[in-house]
Amino acid sequence: MTRLMMTTALTLGLTATAAQAEVTLSLWTESATAPEGVFAREFSEMDNGITIDVREIRFDDLVADTLRAFATRTNPDLIAIDNPDHAAFSARGAFLDITDKVAASDVIDADAIFEGPRSSLSWDGRMFGLPRASNTIALYYNKDLMAAAGLDPDSPPTTWDEFLEAARAMTDPANDVYGVAFSARASEEGTFQFLPWAQMAGGSFEDINAEGVAEALELWKTLLDEGLASPDTLTRGQWDSTGTFNGGNAAMAISGPWELGRMAADAEFDWGVTLLPVKEEGGPRASALGDFNLAIFANTEHPEEAFVFLEYYQSQVDRVWPEFTRLPSVAGVELAPTGDARIDAAAEVFAEQLESARNRGPHPEWPRISRAIQTAFQSVLTGEAEPQAALDTARAEIDGILN
Amino acid sequence: MSRVLRSLRDGIGFDTLLIIIALSYLFVFAGLPLIYNVIISFQQVDVFSLGTLWHPNVGFENYERVFSDPLARRVLINTLIFTVGSVALQFTLGFAAALFFHQRFPGATWFRGLFLAGWIMPGLVVGVLWNWLLSGDFGVINHMLKSMGLIDSGIFWRSDTAFSLYAVMMANVWYGMPFNMILLSVGLAAIPDDLYEAAELDGANAWQRFWTITLPMMRSTIGAVLALGVIFTLQQFDLFAAITQGGPAGSSTVAQYWSWELSFREFDFGRGAVISVTMIIVVLFVSLVYVRSTRAETRL
C-alpha cells in the first residue's frame, strides 16, 4: 500500500473518533531519526487529530529512564525498546496486550511477522508490541586490504579457521591495521556479538557451557592475544569499533546493517559483506537477532490512538530498508534498491543471515542472564579465567535465574 | 499571644523558626530518602514494585548476597585505591598549584582562574575527552609517551585490567585538582602576612615558614578540603560511565558504580541500596571530620 493511500484510509477511518478532541501521545525512542521517529512526525502532520511527541533518550539510558518513569507513572504512551528488554515489561503487565486489536486489524497481520521478532514481543502466547525492524550481524571486509594481503577479495572467509587466517594475514601493526574489529564490551552489545559464536558451536544462552562454546571463546581470545583485534575491543561498542574499519584501521568488522549508510559515505575503499563464518564447513549458522520493538504502555489513556500509530508504522514497513537500511520483520516485503550497489548486495547477505538469527530470551530477567554471559567472556579475554571454568560459572548463574 | 508574636519577630522564636525551616527542608529532601534507602536495603525491590511504598521484607539477605558476591572484594579494594589515590593526588597537586599561584608574579590570578575551566565542565564531557585521550590505538597520551621514547607500544589504558582503574583516576585527579587549588588558595590568602614577616626577621627559611606557619594555619582548610575530596570522589560516577563502564571484567568497578549497576542494569534495587547504605556510613564519618574542621574555622 502506498503512503498516500494509507494516509487517506487512516484519515477517513479516524475522522469519527478524532473529530472530538486533539490527542497528544508521547513516544520515547533511542533516535528521532530512526523509522519510528520519522514516521511519528509524518503521522503527526496528518489530519487525524493525533500528535505524537517524540523524545529521544540515549540507548544506554532508555530502559533505566523508562523504568524510573514507569515507577512514578510518568511513562510515555508509546516506546521503542530493544527486543531483549521487551519481555521484562510484557511479563509484568506494563505493556498493553494488543493480541485482539491485531486480530481485528486490516493492516497488521500477526502471522506475517517472522518467528524471532514475534517471540521477543510475545509472553504467554499474547502479543505485546510490534517489531520496528530486524537486524543481525555479519562480516564486513575490506576488499582492497584482502587483495593487498594476497587473498581473493571475492571469496571472503567462510569458516572459523579461514576467518582466523584472514585476520592474521591482514593484520599489519606497522600501518596500524588490525585484522578484525568487533565488540566484546561488558554490555548488551557484547552479549549480542558473542551469542552467535556460542550458538554456532552448539550452545545457547540456556546451555552456555555446552561442549564447543569454549572453542568460540578461545577464538575470541586468540584474536585479542595475537593482536589481531584491538585490546580496546573490550571497552568499545560496535559503532566505534566499526568506525575503525571505515577508517581503514581494521580489515574486517563484525556488525549490522545499521552501519551501511555511514560506511558507504566514509569508507574510501571497496568493501563487501558476507555471512558470519561457521565453525566447520557445513556447520550450523547462527546470528543475533537485533533491533527494537514498538509497544504501547498498558496505562495509556489513549490505547486506540496509539494502536492507530502502530498500524501506520506497519503500513510504511516497505520503506524501512531503502530509507533506514533496516530489515523488515515481516514476510513478503521486497527490499527495494537503494541506488548503491554495495548496499544492495549487502541487503541479500543480511536477509539470508537473518534466517539464522536467534532471539535473546525472551525472559523478564534477561539483563541478569546477559550479565552472566558478559562476565564469562570478559574474564576469559582478560586472562582471569579459563574458558570452560568461566562458562560453567555463567551456566550456574543462569540456571539460578531460569529456575 | 503578643509575646509569641514578638518572640517570632525579634528573639528566640525567630531563630527557632529559621532553624525549623532549614531542618524540615533537610529532613524532607535528604533525611527521608536516606531513611527510605536504608529500609529498601532490607527489602526485595524490583522494577515493577518500585512504585509501591512497601515491599516484601528479606532481612539481611541483600547484605549477605552483596558481601558474598565474588565482585565484592575487588570493588572494596578498587574503591579504596581510587579514593585514597585520587584525594591524595588532587590534594598534593592542588596544594602545589595554590602555593605556586600564591607567589606574586604577573598574571598569577589569571592563570589560577584558567585552571577552573576544567572544573566547570560537566563530568560526562570530561569523561568523553579522556576517553579519546586514553584510547589505546589513537590516543594522544600514548602518542606523547611514544614520542618521548617512554614506551614502545601503546598502553591500553581503558582495556588493560592493570591500568583501567588508574586511567579513570588520572581523569579524576585532573578534574578535581582545580577545586582543591581554589579552596586551598582561599586558605592561604587568609594567613596574615605579618606572621611571615616576623618569621623572616627571626631568620626562618622558606621551608621552616611552610612547616611552622602555613601548615598549622591551614589545618582547618586542609581538613575541609580532604573531607570534601573524599565525598566528591565517592560520588564520582560520570567518568566511570564514560571511560571504562567499570570494565574490563570488573577491574575498574567501584562501589558507587556497582550500586548503580545493580539498581539500574540488573534492577535489583535492594542490593543497590545495600551498597549505598554502606557508603553512607563511610561518608558520615568523613562528614564528621568536615564539620569539625569547619567549626574550628569559625572559632578563628
B98-150 pLDDT tens trace: 999 988 888 888 888 888 888 888 988 999 999 999 988 889 999 999 999 99
H helices, E strands: number in chain A = 17, 13
Q: Which residues pair with A131 in a beta bridge?
A: A293
CA-based nearest distance A200→chain B, Å: 24
Q: What pLDDT was estimated at residue A3?
A: 55
Flag if A381 and B265 touch (Cβ within 8 Å): no
C-alpha grid cell for residue A15? 475522522
Residue type, B16: T
What does CATH list as the number for A138-288+365-402? 3.40.190.10
Residues 112-171, chain B, touching A (beta carbon < 8 A): 135-137, 156, 158-161, 164
Q: Cβ contacts (< 8 Å) between A379 and chain B: which residues?
A: 249
pLDDT of residue A41: 95
Interface size A-B, in CB pairs within 8 Å, comes to 78
B62 confidence band (pLDDT: 50, 70, 90): very high
Helix (H, G, I), strand (E, B) or coil at B296: helix
User: Hey, are the CB atoms on B159 and A379 less than 8 Å from each other?
Assistant: no
**Crossing angle, helix B61-68 and helix B269-299, to 10 degrees?**
90
Between residues 159 and 218 of chain A, which touch chain B (CB distance below 8 Å)?
Answer: 176, 185-187
Q: Identify the structural domains of chain B with CATH numbers, from first to last.
A: 64-299 (1.10.3720.10)
Contact yes or no for A67 and B264 at CB 8 A: yes
Q: What would the grid cell of residue B278 be? A: 554502606
Asked if the Cβ–Cβ distance from A64 to B135 is below 8 Å, we say no
Mean pLDDT, residues B251-261 taken together? 94
Query: So what's the pLDDT on residue B143?
Result: 92
Higher per-residue pLDDT: B11 or A399? A399
Q: Please list the alpha-helical segments (H only) found in A201-356.
A: 213-225, 238-246, 260-266, 303-315, 320-324, 341-355
- Please list the helix, strand and coil fractions of chain A in percent, rounded to the nearest 5, in that order: 50, 15, 35
Between helices B219-235 and B70-102, what is the axis angle to 10°? 140
Q: What is the mean pLDDT of each run of 10 residues along chain A (403 residues)?
A: 52 48 92 94 93 92 88 92 93 93 94 90 94 95 96 96 97 94 93 96 95 96 96 92 96 96 94 96 93 96 96 95 91 88 93 91 90 95 94 96 91
How many Cβ atoms sit within 10 Å of the Cβ of residue A319? Answer: 17
Question: Considering only CB atoms, which chain A residues are within 8 Å of B158?
Answer: 232, 234-235
Substitution target from B74, B265, B266 for chain A, most A beta carbons within 10 A: B265
Backbone angles phi, psi at A260, to 5 degrees: -55, -45
Give dist(CA A398, CA B18) in Å, integer. Answer: 55
Look at residues A381, A392, A46 and name the one whose alpha carbon lies nearest to residue A184: A381
Cis peptide before A277 (omega within 30 of 0): no
Q: Give me the DSSP letters along A153-190.
A: TTS---BHHHHHHHHHHH-BGGGTBEEEE----SSHHH
Residues forming CATH 3.40.190.10 domain(s) in chain A: 3-135+290-355, 138-288+365-402
Q: What is the pLDDT of residue A5?
A: 54
Kindly tell me if the per-residue pLDDT of B94 is higher than 50.
yes
Query: Chain-centre distance of CA A38, in angstroms?
Result: 19
Q: How far does the CA of residue A67 sit from the closest CA of chain B (Å)? A: 7
pTM for the whole structure: 0.85
Pairing of strands A271-274, A23-29: unpaired
Contacts of residue A315, Cβ cutoff 8 Å, sequence gap at least 6 = A1, A3, A6, A10, A107
The reply to whether CATH 3.40.190.10 applies to domain A3-135+290-355 is: yes
pLDDT value, residue A16: 46
Helix H, strand E, coil C: the string for B122-177 is CHHHHHHHHHHHCCCCCCHHHHHHHHCCCCCCCCCCCCCCCCHHHHHHHHHHHHHH
Q: Strand order in A178-181's β-sheet?
A: A178-181, A250-255, A138-142, A271-274
Determine the distance in angstroms separating the CA of B61 from the nearest CA of chain A, rounded to an integer.
16
CA nearest B276: which of B286, B285, B266, B263?
B263
Average pLDDT over chain B reads 89
pLDDT tier at B46 (50, 70, 90 boundaries)? Answer: confident
> pLDDT tens for residues A152-204?
999 999 999 999 999 999 999 999 999 999 999 988 999 999 999 999 999 99
Q: Smallest Cβ distance to B249: which of A67, A88, A378? A: A378
Helix axes A303-315, A3-18, angle to 10 degrees: 170
Do A287 and A358 contact (CB within 8 A), yes or no?
A: yes
